[in-house]
């Protein structure tokens, strides 16, 4: 094959990403990622690591010492928590309300857990009594739940679950990738032992770093599985008494030693993603954590108002809908893929469909991170209105934008 005489520079098309994530990164985050690299043991670098830990304690609303980054997408954070906590044969309970509950169950199964699941229909959430009844029956070591499942757009209430877990001596892990900063999450107050998230939704960054926070109780448990690599182990290092963690890369005790005072070598830190994650948190803290959540609620409610004004039926239990994404049924009179394709190709705006039983039945429209703003909401509603009617929709026309504008005006009054 001949070598091309000229190779074009990467030049992605301009898009407004208004689906369930990823979203457009905040320009300030992209600028932070372009900063020059430094060595992983440079005092400036270790200082950045300590500062990032402090920033994410505010994001997670926790005092947990071990609030760190896992290098990889949000799924890397999930795997690190589960593979480090689960011994072969441990009982794990996973309440499933959408696609990502199934994911937690699969990862736990791969970690050789004895996995037990309970399920509600997609579009519903669990009551605390259902969780407690299952815990009493199964007697698990770990409860693993998703807070906001973008496949269904539902936000699972968690405020009573931690107390139930404490009474029954169960570790409580939550995947809050899609919900953090768009919805309330109180790690300490709600008794969460481990939480993992990603940057690519309400934190306003790209995928590639997975912040996690770990309670003292969780850390004490996984430390019992500690094993230091032979190439860096000294006489001062003691292995744990429980079976070693089955992954080297996702071994939380080793990663904690890397982030801790010892700075024991484990991997080469993804420096640009550290800059990125730190900037995502800085922006959120400067805006105010509660203000960020309120902003997502404002623009999410405006989007909800607009799609309802179009005559579209909202999916699921609306009182438990996530602030940052709405699911709407695709009208029978239109081809959902044709509408999405026209929105993307003619207007440069992306919305999503869903998975499993909802694939091709609903659209998922997000208002997340940098895109949780009035102009993005109004652009998306106007585009959706136009493309629906261009594809044969006979419902209300020209109402979405004005309804959303009226909503904004009423909120400002």
Q: What is the pLDDT of residues 266-325, one digit of tens each?
A: 999 999 999 999 999 999 999 999 999 999 999 999 999 999 999 999 999 999 999 999
Give the closest residue to 16 by CA, choosing from 367, 401, 404.
367
Distance in angstroms (rounded) separating the CA atoms of residues 383 and 379 = 6
Distance in angstroms (rounded) separating the CA atoms of residues 396 and 148 = 31
**How is residue 197 written in tokens?**
């998230």
**Global pTM value:** 0.96
Q: CB of 180 within 8 A of CB of 203?
A: yes
Instruction: Annotate 259-290 with b (16+ C-beta within 10 A) or e (fewer).
Output: beeeebebeebbbbbbbbbbbbbbbbeeeebe
Distance in angstroms (rounded) separating the CA atoms of residues 156 and 353 = 21
Instruction: Annotate 50-69 with b (16+ C-beta within 10 A) or e (fewer).
Output: eebbebbbebbbbebbbbbb
Q: What is the pLDDT of residue 372?
A: 98
CA distances from 157 to 73, 126, 168, 202 (A): 25, 8, 19, 18
| CB atoms near residue 72 (< 10 Å) | 20
Report the interhelical angle of 271-287 vs 43-60 (nearest 10°).
Answer: 40
Q: CB of 199 within 8 A of CB of 77?
A: no
Helix (H) or strand (E) holding 16: strand 16-17
Give the closest residue to 192 by CA, choosing from 178, 212, 209.
212
Beta strands in 43-123 (DSSP E): 66-71, 91-96, 114-119
One pLDDT digit (tens) per residue for the chain, 413 residues: 677 778 889 999 999 999 999 999 999 999 999 999 999 999 999 999 999 999 999 999 999 999 999 999 999 999 999 999 999 999 999 999 999 999 999 999 999 999 999 999 999 999 999 999 999 999 999 999 999 999 999 999 999 999 999 999 999 999 999 999 999 999 999 999 999 999 999 999 999 999 999 999 999 999 999 999 888 888 888 888 989 999 999 999 999 999 999 999 999 999 999 999 999 999 999 999 999 999 999 999 999 999 999 999 999 999 999 999 999 999 999 999 999 999 999 999 999 998 889 999 999 999 999 999 999 999 999 999 999 999 999 999 999 999 999 999 999 86
Q: CB of 127 within 8 A of CB of 290?
A: no
Three-class SS string for 135-180? HHHHCCCEEEEECEECCCCEECCCCCHHHHHHHCCCEEEEECCCCE
Q: CB of 202 within 8 A of CB of 296?
A: yes
Q: Which residues contact 139 (CB under 8 A, 6 or more apart)?
A: 91, 168
| Burial (CB count <10 Å: 0-12, 13-18, 19+), residue 296 | buried
Proportion of the chain above pLDDT 70, given as a percent: 99
Distance in angstroms (rounded) separating the CA atoms of residues 377 and 304 = 10
Q: CB of 197 within 8 A of CB of 78?
A: no
Q: Provide the phi-psi class of 328: left if phi over 0, else alpha when psi is between -120 and 50, else beta.
A: beta
């Amino acid at each position: 094959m001949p070598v091309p005489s000229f190779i074009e520079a990467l030049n992605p098309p301009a898009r407004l990403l208004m689906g369930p994530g990823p979203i457009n990164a905040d320009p300030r985050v992209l600028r932070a990622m372009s900063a020059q690299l430094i060595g992983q043991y440079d005092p400036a670098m270790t200082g950045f690591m300590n500062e990032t830990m402090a920033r994410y304690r505010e994001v997670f609303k926790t005092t947990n010492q071990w609030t760190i980054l896992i290098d990889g997408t949000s799924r890397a954070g999930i795997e690190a928590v589960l593979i480090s906590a689960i011994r072969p044969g441990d009982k794990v309970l996973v309440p499933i309300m959408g696609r990502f509950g199934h994911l937690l169950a699969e990862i736990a199964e791969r970690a050789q857990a004895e996995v037990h699941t309970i399920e509600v229909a997609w579009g519903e959430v669990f009551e605390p009594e259902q969780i407690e009844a299952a815990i009493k029956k199964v007697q698990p070591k770990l409860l693993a739940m998703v807070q906001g499942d973008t496949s269904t757009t539902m936000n699972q209430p968690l405020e009573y679950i931690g107390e139930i877990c404490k009474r029954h001596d169960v570790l409580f892990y939550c995947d809050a990738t899609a919900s953090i900063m768009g919805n309330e999450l109180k790690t300490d107050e709600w008794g969460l032992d481990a939480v993992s998230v990603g940057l690519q939704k309400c934190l306003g960054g790209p995928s590639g770093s997975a912040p996690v926070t770990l309670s003292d109780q969780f850390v004490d448990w996984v430390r019992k599985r500690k094993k230091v690599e032979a190439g860096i182990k000294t006489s001062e290092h003691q292995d744990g008494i429980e079976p070693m963690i089955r992954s080297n890369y996702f071994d939380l005790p080793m990663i904690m030693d890397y982030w801790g005072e010892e700075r024991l070598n484990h991997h080469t830190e993804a420096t640009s993603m550290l800059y990125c994650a730190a900037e995502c948190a800085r922006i959120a803290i400067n805006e105010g954590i509660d203000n960020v959540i309120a902003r997502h609620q404002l623009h999410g409610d405006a989007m909800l108002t607009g799609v309802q004004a179009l005559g579209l039926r909202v999916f699921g239990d609306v009182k438990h809908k996530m602030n940052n994404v709405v699911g709407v049924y695709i009208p029978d009179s239109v081809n959902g893929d044709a509408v999405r394709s026209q929105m993307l190709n003619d207007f440069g705006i992306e919305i999503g469909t869903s998975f499993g039983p909802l694939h091709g039945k609903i659209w998922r429209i997000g208002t997340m991170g940098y895109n949780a703003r009035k102009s993005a909401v109004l652009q998306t509603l106007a585009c959706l209105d136009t493309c629906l009617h261009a594809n044969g929709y006979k419902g209300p026309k020209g109402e979405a934008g004005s309804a959303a504008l009226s909503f904004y005006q009423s909120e400002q009054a």
